Structure 1
Amino acid sequence: MAWMDIILSFLTAQICFVTIVFMALRKQKNGLVKTFIALHTLYFCWASCTLILLVFNVGSKAYLFVILKYISAFSLGPVWFIFYLYFSRSTWVKQRLQLKKTLAIFFPMMVLLTIYLTKGPDYSLYFFDEEGKIIYSNGLWLLIIIQSVYHFAGLIIVMRNAFTKQAKQLSILITTGYTLSQCITVLYYCSRVYFSFNYMDIVPGATLIILVTFFIAIYRYQFMNILPMALSEIVNRLQEGIMVVDGKGKIASVNNILEVILGKNKEQLLESNASDISDFILRNWKYNDESREAVLAIGKGTWEEVKGIIEYNDEIQYEIHCQPLKHTKLLIGWVVSFYNIHEHKNLTDELSKKNMKLSEAYTKLVEHANVVEELSASRERNRMAGEIHDSVGHCLSILVAMLEVIKMTYPKTTACMPVSEATPADSTNIVKEKINSAYNIAKNGLSELRHMVSSFSTVKRQRNNLLESIQSMIEGFEATGIKVDLTIQGDPPSEINDMLWSALYNTCREALTNALKHGEAQNVIIILRFDEELIELYIIDDGNGCNTIVKNMGLQGMENRINILNGRISFGSGGEKGFSIHVEIPR
């Protein structure tokens, strides 16, 4: 049976040692982690002393290991109670346990330990013999009672602070492991089973139950990771207010910015539940229905990210983000962030005003484009009216004059002719009627033509004056704030056909429109160069560029017009800034 005792002690000591080393290597440790290490250290000490007393013949040194077992036994109850306080995030420990409270917790056991170490008068209080075996005595009963008081006091604190379902599950798992090991230990040592197993120490075996529950809690519930691990230095550097809440609804960590936002110091916040902060915001801040859900999520947690905007006054507005911390199918906590959106709101308002101005400018540009289009149509009508007046009008004027002469000379001619040669009366009437009809038609046609011509604008338009048209268009675009620099190189032809005129003019107009609408340019350079064999057009702006050029309707229209003239057009961009167009048309 000694071999079983040795195996259990060795196994427990090894597991505790690995756990201590692993947790000790963590760079950041809070009260829970330190207490967790202390518990494993006590169990390691008990198991190691038991193993040494069983395997090695230590002789006179055996008393030293017996004392170490006494210290471990008396310290387990208080350390477990402190562990429960940190685990439940009790307000009694705040950020760190004060020395006075620590001494108060250890005082009963310190008194008993002093009696044992000083060899008090009542030998029945001792429960370790000289070989470290537990003997049936009043001291054993007294230790069990005091240990049970510590345990159940801590158990009540843990269960009272478990607000959520997963927090209760985790609390039950942690406390059940210790409770079960205590029950097994009490039943074992307070019955004849201990003697039947030849004084085998059951504590290392019972400790394995606790270690298993710790392993399940760490792996499944991540209870050692939800509490803050000295992240305050990093979090305090953030410009946003940060609050970390554990699965039980307790505030685990806050940064300095959050103290300013909520008007409470860090100690007050850490003593509060997340639901208290939620109620505080609901009472003192402004919010809409959608944001109310985000505020409520601060206190009760959320399975999905929730956002909302809260406003204290015109100068203080924050956007809150509530993000869950999940592990498998459990909600182990959540993080609440407070983003200052006052400056963003001002920028948004300013951007809205600029958008309104841009919309008004766009409306004026559309109106200007309509005016330009109407002016072009009016000029075209004037040109056609001038051609009709010069050609058809001239012919009709001659026709009227000739008919007028015939009308005046016809009666005289017929009167001087011999009777035999005269035209019969019927024929004469018919000819006269035809002449009168022709005269009336020509006269009415001329009148209608003059009326039609007079209804058009009488401003003379020269279609071939391309430079004047482009300059006029530029003046209209410069009214929107864009500065356009037009440069002419070479001698322009005296006559430009309609297709060439339309291609150059419309390319300049579309490029200026794109520079205003898409490029948001401030400056545009137009260079029109006339060589003996080639006409070249360069248009360069300083607006927004693009990595990939997509030929939309405007660019495609330019390309079609240039291709009809057997020319070439290319588009270029620097990526982040600037757009250019190059046109070549054979002269």
Structure 2
Amino acid sequence: MNISQMCILTYTLVAIYCVITIVFFHLKSHKSPALYSLLSAQVMLVLWLIFGMIEINSESDSQLYLTVRFTLFPVCFIGGFWFLFSLYYADKIPSFRTLKGKMIVLAVFTPLIITYIPALTDRLFPLIIKDKHFYNTIDTKWGDFFVANLLFTYTYFVSSMIVVILKSIKEYKRLKNKIILIILAPLITLGIHIVTSLRMIPPPGFDLTPVSFSISISLLSLAVFKYKVFDPVPTITYDIFNNLEDATIIFDHQGKISNCNKSASKELNCYFDVSSCNDIYEFLNMLKQTTTKSEEIDKAIDSVNLNVEMFNCKLVMDKNQDYAAWKSYDLYIKTFKQRDKRRGGFVSLKNNSIVLYEERSRIASEFHNILNNAVCAIKSSLADALESQEFQANTNLSKEYEGIEKAYGTSEELLLEIPKIINELCPIDIQQIGLFEALNRLIKRVDSRRMNIQIYHNDIDFDKISQNKQLAYALYAIVMEAISNSYKRGRAKNLGIQITKKQKSLKLYICDDGMGCDKIYFDNGLIDMQKKILALGGTINFSSSIDGGFSITIEIPFSFISF
């Protein structure tokens, strides 16, 4: 077997091994900058081996000078990726997603790029290789730029060893075997290169450096797989993590977010973009903006700063103050420590909204069945008493009559309040029954003998409105509040609701014939109406006069509600 055949056989076997290693670790390991930098070094090694096989089979100097340009690419950059691996492994640099992380990567590769550029031009190529012949590829006179690149590469290798050794000293007692493998990995490459360069062993006739790199990466891969340098977890473990019902976010010792499961995106992306949060503090501050209990988030942040082992609290999340979008969560923060220093932790949000909804539905059902039926029975008895001819004919009972009439009115007011309370406990599913049906059910609750309510509309697609959850619930709540105010405060006999579609907006007009006022006082009900309409990008106006009547005019642009 000649030198060329021996080189091709050796390089082919090593390349196949490297490809298998790359695929295996990409599928099985936790995706991290440290892993990707090591895999990138392995990719450079595979390219080095492939182009090296082509180079050694060159049949002329011109063909050799063409192929060597390709071989030089992985040769010049593999040291940079190895150095990045050591920095990420030792947590010396931030994530590549940050500006600082990008600048550090650029600083590492800039000298390697500059010293490689002459290889791309014929005029400057002597700065890389002064003399090289196809019949003897080992004896090469290297140019100044390649020597400079080699100095940078070995500086990176030595620096990598120092960084890894310093990191390993702290873990030596706990992970002795892993540390030995990690330290041996770069020493193998460095040792073989020194031995072959000084001709301490007979050269085989081809470059052994990529083979030495494969041995180093094999040792490092063994440390990765067996001793969990990157915490590679089998795929099934990550499938379990990703399919947890609770929204879970993992952070490292610096508070940087390293992973989050699918539930985190599903649960929280309606409030904010979870992927945009770089660390646990940014995540908690985003939570603070969406919860009604901001003081609990302040306590959570303090617990992270103080490395409290376990913290939990209850949160209520809301969006645009739309009650239908409110959710209840249990927040858990678990911090793992070693020698009083934080090693990492996780945040978990358990959605209690389903349990809360079921409990509220049960209470609302009992509330409706017991209280509503009881009030209806009282109201019916009072109505029979008021309509009794014997009672009306007796003028001596006028005060009693007034008292019963007042009690009857109170019972009607209470019947109007019951649906409001039930709706707050368990909001009506407008998307299922439709807005128009929901409004009709609301109107039917009002005794027509006390207040006549009419609803008008022109060519309105109520199904389309019902599908816009925020719009439908806002209109329903405003109509419900308006009916209650007109009956209780305005003592109105008639109320009209008009929903029309103008050219570029949806208009809701509500008016009654109740007692008017010369000045409108904004209570919680009217303020809540304003907030709901402003959240939809619309306008709302209230008007009244001392002569009587109260009206509400609302306009919502179609551009804000995708109508």
Does TM, normalized by the shorter one, top 0.5?
A: no
- TM-score for both structures, normalised by structure 2: 0.43
Larger radius of gyration: 1
